[in-house]
Amino acid sequence: MTRDAHVPDHTGANSLQLEAVTKTYAGVAAVEAVDLDVRAGEFLTLLGPSGSGKTTTLSMIAGFTAPTSGRVTLNGRDITAIPPHRRNMGMVFQNYSLFPHLSVGANVEFPLRQRGVGKAERRRKAMEALDAVELGHRADATPDQLSGGQQQRVALARALVFEPALLLMDEPFGALDRGLRERMQLEVRRIHQQLGVTILFVTHDQQEALTMSDRIAIFNQGRIEQLGTPEDLYDRPASHFVATFLGESTVLTGTAESGTLTLDSGQQVSVGGHSVTGPARLVLRPERLRLDPQGAPGPSLGGRVRDVVYLGADRRVEIDTEAGLVIVRLSADVAAPRSGDLVHVHWDPVDAHLYPAA
């Protein structure tokens, strides 16, 4: 099954484009020349550390912030200068942002009221939306009588009840505890698949991005560092930043020349297939490393096991080598080494990523 399998084929599908969108504050670029093409029905996540420009980008899409330059289009229509209340987007905020003076039901009716929907129709649709998040029985409660998770589900119902062109979610689960966060993630995925709504999601939580998204745009210093499916980003990171930001990795530094990397500690490892020369960083994913007997083909490093941590499905092994600490993940059904054992870490050159050391 391809990733695009649940993209709805109904006409009126909603797609969003950013063209060279830039926002500068007092001469400093918070977002620099960002191009982004969000496909109809897809779940796209803007992921990055705080201050990387992802929230500013979302804010320009919602219309709260005007870009310094560039264009935002929705279904081919230029909306750069359109105020937020005429963009027809739903939005969920980190702090829920329900209207405290209105009942839960009235909160969900709010967007319909702005669109001139009649009272009976409004109530019916609001109840439907609340039932979808299993809160139909709390329609008469006030927001402060609900728990954080319930409030966020009401906010979700409120953002979806008017069938918006696009659903924006700004770190929506940041304020929830872990168990609740995971349940909400599943619920949003289910809603996304049921309704086929286009979702633009902002988070700094890489695990959340990996589990929920069709595609992820990694932000770093106001630019999109890489855009792709979770598999693309994890298996083929385009830069050292992406490789280390997403998932756990071991980074070894050295100097590359004609297919060989001379590590700072002196060992030489083969990096066939990479054209980098000069100072470079080698990034190794823990689950792509093996502990093989000495002399097996391919690049390897010798070292002593420092610690073995049992994680259920696999084990995390820390190995001290002359080149530095190397982390290896071994499936739990492979015989585990013990602390103090001398081992050899092997990998396939295609699984190692080499980047110029900037």
Partner 1 sequence: MNTVTRARPPLIVWGAVVAVMLTAPTLVVIPLSFTSQRSFRFPIEGWSLQWYERFFTESRWVGALMTSLGVALTAAILATIVGTLAVIALGRSRIALGPVARGTLMLPIVVPGIVVAVGVFGAYLRWGISGSFLGLVLAHTVLSIPFVMIPVTTALRGIPETVERAAAVLGANPLRRFTQVQLPLLAPGLVTGFVFAFVTSLDEVVIAFFLQSPRLRTLPVQMYSSVTVETDPTIAVASSLVLVISTIAILVPRLVANSRTKRLATLTKEAAS
187 to 45, 127, 193, 197, 312: CA distances (angstroms): 16, 18, 10, 14, 26
Residues 6+ apart with CB under 8 A from 338: 305, 308
Contact between 111 and partner 1 per CB under 8 A: yes
Q: Binding to partner 1 by residue 159, rule CB under 8 A? A: yes
148 binds partner 1 (CB under 8 A): no
Q: Which of 95, 157, 147 is nearest to 126 (CA)?
A: 157
Other beta carbons less than 10 A from residue 195's beta carbon: 15
- Residue 183 C-beta: closest distance to partner 1, Å: 22
Judged by beta carbon, residue 145 or residue 277, the one nearer partner 1 is 145
Exposure of 238 by Cβ count < 10 A (0-12 exposed, 13-18 middle, 19+ buried)?
Answer: middle
Pick the piece of the chain touching partner 1 (CB under 8 A) from 152-160, 229-237, 290-298, 308-316.
Answer: 152-160
Task: Dump strand ranges (E) for 83-151.
Answer: 89-92
Report the relative pairing of strands 28-38 and 16-25 from DSSP bridges: antiparallel
Q: Nearer to partner 1 by C-beta: 87 or 353? A: 87
Instruction: Tell me how far apart the alpha carbons of residues 4 and 36 are, in angstroms, rounded to a whole number.
Output: 18
Closest-CA residue to 18 (of 54, 53, 61) = 61
Single residue of 22, 39, 68, 84 touching partner 1 by CB under 8 A: 84
Q: How far is the CB of 85 from partner 1 (least distance, A)?
A: 5
The residue length of the chain stands at 358
State the number of binding residues for partner 1 (CB under 8 A): 33
Q: Of the ranges 6-14, 60-68, 253-261, 293-301, which one interacts with partner 1 (CB under 8 A)?
A: 60-68
Residues 281-300 that bind partner 1 (CB under 8 A): none
CB of 158 to partner 1, least distance (A): 7
Q: Are 50 and 219 in contact (CB under 8 A)?
A: no
- Give the CA distances from residue 334 to residues 169, 245, 314, in Å, rounded to whole numbers and listed in that order: 41, 28, 9
Pick from 17, 33, 93, 351 the residue near partner 1 by CB under 8 A. 93
Of the candidate residues 85, 119, 124, 304, the single one contacting partner 1 (CB under 8 A): 85
The answer to whether residue 201 forms part of the interface with partner 1 (CB under 8 A) is no
Dihedrals phi, psi of 149, to nearest 5 degrees: -65, -40
* Cα maximum dimension of the chain: 77
By CB under 8 A, tell whether 267 contacts partner 1.
Answer: no
To the nearest whole angstrom, how small is the minimum distance from the Cβ of residue 169 to partner 1?
A: 12
Asked whether position 91 contacts partner 1 by CB under 8 A, the answer is: yes
Buried b (16+ CB within 10 A) or exposed e, 200-228: bbbbbbbebbbebbbbbbbbbebebbbbb
Asked if 34 is part of the footprint of partner 1 (rule: CB under 8 A), the reply reads no
User: Does position 269 bind partner 1 by CB under 8 A?
Assistant: no
Among 158, 181, 215, 240, binds partner 1 (CB under 8 A): 158
Closest distance of CB 111 from partner 1, Å: 4
Bridge partners, 219 (sequence order)? 224
Secondary structure (3-state) at 164:
coil
Minimum CB distance to partner 1 smaller for 176 or for 354: 176
The yes or no reply on residue 115 touching partner 1 (CB under 8 A) is yes
Of 26 and 335, which has the nearer Cβ to partner 1? Answer: 26
In the set 22, 95, 244, 260, which binds partner 1 (CB under 8 A)?
Answer: 95
Q: Is 67 in the site for partner 1 (CB under 8 A)?
A: no
Stretch that binds partner 1, among 110-118, 176-184, 246-254, 273-281 (CB under 8 A): 110-118
User: Smallest distance, Å, CB 73 to partner 1?
Assistant: 18
Give the C-alpha separation, 317 to 286, whole Å: 9
Binding site for partner 1 (CB under 8 A): 62-64, 83-91, 93-95, 97-101, 110-111, 113-115, 141-142, 145, 155, 158-159, 162, 168
